[in-house]
Structure 1
Amino acid sequence: MTDSPYQYFDVRVVRAERLTPAMIRVTFGGPDLPRMASGGRDQRIKIFLPHPGQDAPVMPDTGTGTGDTLDWYAAWCALDPAVRGIMRTYTTRALRRDPHELTVDFAVHGAAPSPADGPATSWARTARPGARVGVLAPVDEENGAYDFRPPRDTDWLLLAADESALPAVAGILEILPPGLPTRVWVEVHDLADRQPLSSRTDTEIHWLTTEGATTGAIRGADLPQGTPYAWIAGESATVRAVRRHLVGDRGFARERVSFSGYWRRNTTTDELIDRGEAA
C-alpha cells in the first residue's frame, strides 16, 4: 500500500448554529485536527454519521488513517448498510488553527423537520456539543478533492450554484485576488436564505428563488469580455444545462468549465452509492 493524501478523523461537535432557515453551521473539534488540511475553495470531505441509537459511526479498521483509500472504501462498502456509518459528501467551510476546528455548513431545506429529510439533514437539525462523527479529509493541501482550478490566464469568473454548493461559493470568493471580475448566480429556496458573501473581487451576485432558473438567468446576462473560467455545482440536471449553454451557446472552451453534480433530483445519495456513483 502507498500512503494516501487522506485520513480518517474522529471528531466531536463543538457548537452548532442556524445561519439561515435553510443552513446550519456545525463546528467540530478533535485531537487529530492539526493534521487535517484543506485546499480551500470547494474542498470536498466525507462525513460519516451514526445511525439512530449509535454513539458513533461504525467504520472499518482505518489503522493510522493512511494507506490505500480505495481499499478502505471497499472495506466500508462491505459493512452492513444498516449498521455502517452513513456517508455524505460536504465542503470544508473553514479549517481554523488555534484552536483547531473544522466548520461545515449543512443545507437543511427549511427551518422545520420534514418527512423528506435525509439522514444528514435530520442529524444536523439536532446536532449538539459532544456528538461524534467521522470525517475523511485530506492531510495535504494539494489534493484531488477540489475542482476550482482557474488557469492563470483567466480574465473573469462565472460561478453558478444552488444551496447545496453555497458553502463552496463562499469559500471560493474568499480566496480570490482583488479586482477579478466575478459573476455569481445562486439558487435558494427563499430570499431569507441569502448569506453575506465576502470577496475582494469585482463581484456581482444574483440570488434566484426558482429551482432550475440559473440557465435562463445566465442566458439573459451581459457577460464580461475576455477569457473566462466557469465553476458550476448543484443539482445535476441544472449543472448540465448551464454547461451546455456556456459551451454550446456562449463558446466557452470545455476545459475552462468545471462542473459537479452535488445531488440528483428524485434520487437519494444511498441509491447513488449502491450504483457506485457517489464514492
Structure 2
Amino acid sequence: MTNASPSLAPSAPAPRAAPTSSPFQFFSVEVLRAERITPAMARIVLGGPDLARMASAGRDQRVKLFLPRPGQSEPVMPPAGTADWYGAWRALDPAVRGIMRTYTIRELRRAPDELVIDFALHAESDDASGPASRWARSAVPGDRICVLAPVEEENGGYDFRPPDGTDWILLTADESALPAVASILDTLAPGTPARVWIEVHDPADRQELATKADADITWLVRNTSPAAPDAIRAAALPEGTPYAWVAGEAATVKAVRRHLVGERGFDRRAVKFSGYWRQGASEDNLMEAAENA
C-alpha cells in the first residue's frame, strides 16, 4: 500500500518525537531473510516492488513499522491515500489495527533494493517480549508488514546533524540504539575522531562495527561494567569542539546529558539526546500519555 506523502508524526512523546512536514510514504514489504546476528539482535531483510523509491539519510534514520496482530497475514491499515493517516489509524479498532513501532534503518541497499532493520530482543520468551520482539523472533520469508519511510534523503526523520566546526563525536547507546550507532559510524568521514560507549546485556551481544572513522569503541556489559554515565564520567575526552549523540533508555540518556552539559561544559545545543524507550513503559503507553496530557 502506498499513500501520498504522509508525515511521520506523531510518535512517542519526546524524546523520540518524529517530524511533521517531511516527505514520507507507506511501503508494503515482505521478509526476504531473517537471522540472529547476536543472541539479543535479530536482523530482518525486507523487500518490495516499491523500495526503489524509498530513501534514507543514513545516520539515525527513523521509520514507522506496522506489524500484523496474531492471526493476521498483514497489518490492518487505513485506506491508501488517506491524508490524516494517524487519525485514520487511531480510529481503527485497537484490537485489529496494525501495531505501530518506531525503528531505525540499519541499511537501505541497492541492486537489489532491500531494507534492513535490526531488532533488539529484550527478553528470551514471547510472554515477556513486546510485540515487535515477538514478531522479529518468529519472522520467516513471506511475512508482510507496512513501513512509513522517507522518499527523499533530506528529511526530518533523523537527528544526527553535527554542525560545521565539530572536532570530534561522542556516541552512547544501549541495544535499542545500537543499530543507529552502527549506521552513524558507517557514515562518518574517514579519520573523524569518535568516542563510543555501548551498553549490552551480555558479552556475546557485542558486534563488529565497520567504520572509517578513528573510533574508540567501549562495550559496557550490564551489571558487570560501569553504567554509561559513570564510564563517561571517568573517561578522558579529546580536546576541541564536540558533538554528542546520546540514545537509549530515557533515564540513562538524561543522566549522560546532565553530565556532559553540567559537568563537562558541553554546549547544550551540541548534545542530541533521544530516549528510545522508558523502563516500564511501551510505545503505546507513551503515545497514550502524550495524548492525554
TM-score normalised per structure 1: 0.94
Cα offset for 1:78?
1.3
Q: Is the 8 A contact 2:247 2:253 kept in 1?
A: yes
Deviation at 1:42, TM superposition (A): 0.3
- Kindly provide the amino acid, as one letter, of the partner of residue 38 in structure 2: T
2:61 corresponds to which residue? 43
* Alignment map for 1:118-137 (pairs within 5 Å): 118-137=130-149
Residue in 1 that maps onto 2:201: 189
1:151 corresponds in structure 2 to 163
Of residues 244, 250, 256, the one that matches 1:242 is 256
Q: Does residue 92 of structure 2 align to residue 105 of structure 1?
A: no
Could you give the per-residue CA deviations for residues 115-153 of structure 1, whole angstroms, max 9, x where no partner exists?
220111111110000000000000010000100000110
- Is residue 11 from structure 1 mapped to residue 29 from structure 2 by the alignment? yes
Unaligned 5+ segments in structure 2 are 7-22
Please state how far the C-alpha of 1:268 moved relative to its aligned partner: 1.4
**Is the Cα contact below 8 Å between 2:63 and 2:157 reproduced in 1?**
yes
- Rounded to whole Å, the distance in 2 between the matches of 1:9 and 1:202 is 36
Choose from 31, 34, 51 the match for 2:52.
Answer: 34
Q: Does 1:162 align with 2:170?
A: no
User: In structure 2, which of residues 189, 192, 203 is the aligned counterpart of residue 180 of structure 1?
Assistant: 192
1:154-206 deviation per Cα after TM superposition (whole angstroms, max 9, x unaligned) = 00000000000000000000110111110000000001000000111111101
Separation in 2, partners of 1:141, 1:276: 29
SS across alignment from 2:132? helix
Q: Distance in 2 between matches of 1:230 and 1:31?
A: 37
Is the 2:168–2:240 contact (alpha carbons within 8 Å) kept by the matching residues of 1?
yes
Q: Give 5+ residue unaligned stretches, structure 1.
A: none
Show the counterpart of 2:20.
none
Report the aligned-residue RMSD.
Answer: 1.4
DSSP 3-state at the match of 1:130: coil
Query: Which segment is superposed worse, 205-214 or 123-132?
Result: 205-214
In 2: Cα distance, 1:236 partner to 1:84 partner:
27
Paired residue total: 270
SS of structure 1 residue aligned to 2:257: helix
> Which position in structure 2 is the counterpart of 1:232?
246
Change in 2 beyond 3 A, CA 1:3/1:83: closer
- Paired with 1:74 and 1:131, the residues of 2 have a C-alpha distance of 26
- Is 2:228 aligned against 1:214? yes
Within 5 A, what are the aligned runs for 1:19-98?
A: 19-63=37-81, 68=83, 71-98=84-111
- Higher mean displacement: 71-80 or 151-160: 71-80
Structure 1: which amino acid aligns with 2:249? E
User: How far apart, CA to CA, are the structure 2 residues paired with 1:259 and 1:29?
Assistant: 31
State the identity %: 64
- Contact 1:95–1:103 under 8 Å retained in 2: yes
Q: Distance in 1 between matches of 2:247 and 2:35?
A: 25
Shift of 1:82: 0.6
Runs of at least 4 residues of structure 1 off by over 4 A? Answer: none
Mean Cα deviation higher: 126-135 or 75-84: 75-84
* Offset, 1:51: 0.4
Match of 1:109, SS state, is: coil
Matched letter for residue 62 of structure 2: R
Partner of 1:142: 154
CA distance in 2, matches of 1:162, 1:103: 19
The Cα of 1:113 is off from its aligned counterpart by 1.9
The question of whether the paired residues in 2 share the 8 Å contact of 1:109 and 1:189 is answered with: no
Does the Cα contact within 8 Å between 2:243 and 2:271 map onto a contact in 1? yes
Residues of 2 paired with 1:43 and 1:164: CA distance? 14
Deviation at 1:62, TM superposition (A): 2.6
Alpha-carbon deviation of 1:114? 4.5
